[in-house]
Structure formats: C-alpha cells, structure tokens
Structure 1
Amino acid sequence: MMLDSKIPEGPLKDKWTNHKRKIKLVNPANKRKYEVIVVGTGLAGSSAAASLAELGYNVKVFCIQDSPRRAHSIAAQGGINAAKNYPNDGDSIYRLFYDTIKGGD
C-alpha cells in the first residue's frame, strides 16, 4: 500500500469526507508488513515514530544530525521563553539570542 499524499478531489467542504471514504485501512494483523519512514527527529518526528511503533508498525527514522538528540526542537528548548524578560528571572534579550545561536549549531 502506498500513501497518496495528493489533495483529495471535490469541493473544499467535502475533501476530508472524501478522503476518509477512500483511504485504505491497515488490518491490525498486517501492521508488521509495512515500514513507516519518518524523516526528522524533532518533537513532531519523534512523537510520530514513538506513537506508530507503539501501534505495532515497523518504523524507520532518518535524521541529518549525527544523533537524533541533536534535532533543533531539542537543542532550542533553552531559549524559547527568554524574550519575556520577567523581573528577577535571570533572562534577557541577549540570552534569547545566545540560546538561539547555540541551539542552531
């Protein structure tokens, strides 16, 4: 079975309904026959891979980093809220830029 990622046919209001009617379902007994390829090990890719593996699919995950832990979602977590600069929290605009550059290596 090959996933057809084209936009479903028909008017916009009917696209989701048409897609659900035409999609082929995988019998639970056949899940191990399929390999699911996940590209990227950030938050979305890692979550998708873990969820599909728990459901019983063979999952292959590919990343361009030397380790899946080097994904930008994981590396950038230190600077996400730094720009707020609340009093006495030790953060600053400088820290935001520093963390962003450091996480993007």
Structure 2
Amino acid sequence: MPDALQMPEPELVRSRFCCLLEDLRTRVQDFFPIACVAFTTMVHVNWKNKGLDGLKHSNISYSDIDKLSLSNIPNGSDIFWVHLCMAYAITFWTCLMLKESIII
C-alpha cells in the first residue's frame, strides 16, 4: 500500500503543501526575470508602433490586444528584429531553466 494512503490527512496535506511551495518558489525564481525583461521590451516595442493605425480606414477590424502583437510592427521595420530576438531569448531561457530544474 502506498505511503500516501497510510498517512493521516493533515500530515499528507502539510507535506504536499511544502512541496508545492518549493516548486512555486523555483518557478518564480526561474521565470520572473525573463518575464520582466520580456514585458518591458515587448510592450514598449509593440505599443509604440503605429502599424495598425493605417488600417483605420479599411474594413479590417482589430482589438486593443492586437496593438501588443507582432501585427502592429510595420513591414520592413528594424524593430521586427527586436521582437524576433526577444522571442528566441524567451524560448532559450525557458528551455535552459527547465533543463536545470530537471538536472537538479
């Protein structure tokens, strides 16, 4: 019979809660730095562009969330590279943090 089934319920909850808190602390430690960098960079890059403003007189509709997406960057803009590099940096950081958490 598994040990978890033999443990009293308060002890089981206490032990699992400690594991949950440790996992949450690790995730925040891993992903908070890249989330801050990504938020400040991506929102600034995407919000300040006026790529969607040219569509005001067309029949294409867009919402406020579209202003924070890649569609707001005009074609041929150098800012596209900032967007692309940040996407790769976020992916690389996430893979690195997941690899470290599996090794440890």
Q: Which has the higher contact order (CA 8 A, sep 6+)?
A: 2
* Higher helix proportion (structure 1 or 2): 2
TM range (shorter): under 0.3
Greater C-alpha radius of gyration: 2
* Higher strand proportion (structure 1 or 2): 1
TM-score with structure 1 length normalisation? Answer: 0.27
